[in-house]
Amino acid sequence: MTVTIVDIGTLIVCSPDICGNRPRIARTRMTVGRIATLWQQGLNAEEIQDEYPHLKLEQIYAALAYYHANKAELDASLAKDLMDYENYRKVFSQEQKVEV
């Protein structure tokens, strides 16, 4: 039986033209931030896999390891994304009220 060893350093990638250069699971558009957010909401790796069955457990654990190794930077990025979303939502809501 042949055993294949996976270099976990290949499981997380960043590409300027995909997902805004955010760290993501290789060969997917699933960002580390999305996995981290699901984990922060209380899902464990197996539950995340249930939600996204195309992901392998080793990919999810690699994303969580990357998140914990870079927690301050990723938390700041996630907080900025949330603030941007809230600002866009407010602007869009105001535009909808003006049109009525």
Q: Is the pLDDT of residue 66 over 60?
A: yes
CATH code of 37's domain: 1.10.10.10
Q: What is the DSSP string of 6-49?
A: P-GGGSEE-BTTBGGG--EETTS--BHHHHHHHHHTT--HHHHH
Enclosing domain of residue 16: 8-75
Overall number of domains in the chain: 1
What does the block give as tokens for 31? Answer: 């960002």
For residue 1, tell me if it sits in a domain.
no
Tens of pLDDT, residues 21-41: 999 999 999 999 999 999 999
Q: What is the number of other CB atoms lying within 10 angstroms of the CB of residue 99?
A: 6
Q: Is the pLDDT of residue 99 over 80?
A: no
For residue 33, tell me if it sits in a domain.
yes
Contact 61, 12 (CB under 8 A): no
For residue 14, tell me if it sits in a domain.
yes
The residue-averaged pLDDT of 7-19 equals 96
Q: Which of 1-5, 27-31, 44-48, 61-65 is predicted with the least confidence, judged by mean pLDDT?
A: 1-5
For residue 28, tell me if it sits in a domain.
yes
The residue-averaged pLDDT of 43-70 equals 99
Contact 52, 46 (CB under 8 A): no
Predicted structure pTM score: 0.85
Query: How much is the mean pLDDT over the chain?
Result: 95
